[in-house]
């Protein structure tokens, strides 16, 4: 796995479009087997694949945690040298600086898709978005100079980066993310497709938060892979949970794992930029989008 990642990272660090495309394909080659294994687990848990149910049972999440290939992948991601998310974000930064053209836009879209995948497969990598550099990168990709497809893909990536990670949401707010999102929403030049995605994002944003690192009394009920990972990754990037919130201002005495907001808190913040927040909150309360899952 290290050899393939080394080749992929070499190609991703290039300024040549075809080499970057090749590097993205190589990263996809690393992630695809992990995604397939996770999908099989999900189908077995939800009972969506009846044909699969008749075959020998697939691994549970706990067993997947002990799978040698998955374990090796996860272990590599906890170190700076092999962390895929950081390489993809640095690639996005370079692609964004190259300006807009058809081929470059396709590379940006592919990189955003892979970024979403790696954040779902290795949630501790979300700690990167507590950094101003990487959160600003997503906000730059939302700007109208980018095509609607890139704006939509960036909104989805932003959602993945914020789920279960309140410190990232605080970084988003501190960097005027709400102003960015609402300004794009109110702009007449914004496409209908992007406006629909923005409404979905606002519903997501208004949902109440839970601490990103579970308390001791809840950790035992979680898969082992999520119990052990956040602290290890935080150390790999240079510290514990507090350093992961680099660049974010917080009140004295606040614990980064407890600095969360309710829907009412967020309603007040969002109300500074948008007038119909009350309507959104009423819809959120009445219909519980996203299955009622809190972020």
How does pLDDT run across 176-191, given as a tens digit for each residue?
Answer: 999 999 999 999 999 9
Does the pLDDT value for residue 148 go beyond 80? yes
pLDDT of residue 76: 84
Confidence of residue 35 (pLDDT cuts 50, 70, 90): low
pLDDT by residue (tens digit) across 189-239?
999 999 999 999 999 999 988 766 443 333 343 333 333 333 333 333 333
pLDDT of residue 34: 74
Closest CA to 27 of 95, 100, 93, 107: 107
Residue 282 resides in a domain = no
Lowest mean pLDDT across 97-101, 171-175, 220-224, 258-262 = 220-224
pLDDT of residue 245: 33
| Choice between 93 and 37, residue whose per-residue pLDDT is larger | 93
| Choice between 246 and 42, residue whose per-residue pLDDT is larger | 42
What's the alpha-carbon Rg for the chain, to the nearest Å? 20
Percent of the chain at pLDDT above 90? 48
CA distance 7 to 3: 6
Give CA 76 to chain center in angstroms.
19
Does the pLDDT value for residue 165 go beyond 80? yes
pLDDT of residue 146: 94
Instruction: Find the domain containing 49 and state its range.
Output: 2-175+208-261
| Choice between 232 and 50, residue whose per-residue pLDDT is larger | 50
Residue 67 resides in a domain = yes
Residue 198 resides in a domain = no
Confidence of residue 105 (pLDDT cuts 50, 70, 90): very high
Signed CA dihedral, 256, 258, 262, 268: sign only? negative
| Choice between 101 and 151, residue whose per-residue pLDDT is larger | 151
pLDDT by residue (tens digit) across 247-293?
333 333 444 444 789 889 999 999 999 888 888 888 777 766 555 44
pLDDT of residue 251: 39
Confidence of residue 101 (pLDDT cuts 50, 70, 90): confident
| Choice between 48 and 237, residue whose per-residue pLDDT is larger | 48
pLDDT of residue 194: 96
Over residues 16-28, the mean pLDDT reads: 95
Residue 12 resides in a domain = yes
Largest CA distance in the chain: 56
- The predicted model scores a pTM of 0.74
Q: pLDDT averaged over the chain?
A: 77
Signed CA dihedral, 279, 285, 289, 293: sign only? positive
Residue 140 resides in a domain = yes
Residue 184 resides in a domain = no
Answer for the pair 11, 20: CB distance below 8 angstroms, yes or no. yes
Residue 180 resides in a domain = no
State the DSSP string of 103-165.
HHHHHHHHHHHHHHHHHHH-GGGGGGGGSHHHHHHHHHHTSTTS-HHHHHHHHHHHHHHHTT-
Residue 274 resides in a domain = no
pLDDT of residue 72: 81
Over residues 55-68, the mean pLDDT reads: 52
pLDDT of residue 4: 85
Total domain count, the chain? 1
């Amino acid at each position: 796995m290290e050899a393939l990642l080394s080749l992929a990272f070499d190609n991703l660090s290039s300024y040549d479009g075809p080499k970057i495309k090749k590097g993205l394909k190589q990263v996809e080659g690393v992630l695809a087997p992990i995604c397939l294994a996770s999908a099989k687990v999900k189908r077995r848990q939800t009972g969506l694949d009846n044909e699969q149910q008749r075959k020998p049972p697939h691994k549970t999440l706990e067993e997947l945690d002990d799978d040698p290939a998955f374990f090796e992948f996860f272990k590599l991601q906890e170190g700076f040298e092999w962390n895929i998310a950081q390489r993809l974000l640095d690639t996005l930064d370079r692609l964004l600086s190259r300006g807009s053209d058809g081929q470059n836009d396709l590379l940006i879209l592919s990189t955003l898709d892979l970024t979403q995948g790696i954040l779902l497969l290795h949630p501790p990598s979300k700690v990167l978005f507590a950094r101003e550099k990487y959160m600003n990168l997503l906000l730059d990709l939302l700007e109208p100079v980018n095509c609607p497809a890139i704006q939509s893909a960036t909104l989805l990536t932003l959602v993945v980066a914020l789920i279960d990670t309140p410190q990232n949401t605080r970084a988003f707010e501190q960097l005027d993310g709400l102003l960015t999102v609402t300004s794009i929403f109110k702009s007449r030049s914004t496409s209908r497709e992007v406006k629909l995605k923005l409404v979905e994002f606002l519903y997501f944003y208004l949902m109440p938060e839970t601490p990103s690192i579970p308390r001791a009394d809840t950790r035992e009920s979680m898969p082992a892979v999520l119990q052990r990972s956040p602290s290890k990754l935080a150390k790999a990037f240079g510290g514990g949970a507090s350093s992961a919130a680099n660049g974010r201002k917080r009140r004295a005495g606040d614990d980064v794992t407890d600095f969360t907001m309710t829907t009412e808190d967020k309603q007040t913040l969002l109300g500074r930029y948008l007038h119909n927040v009350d309507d959104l909150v009423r819809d959120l309360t009445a219909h519980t989008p996203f299955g009622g899952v809190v972020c």
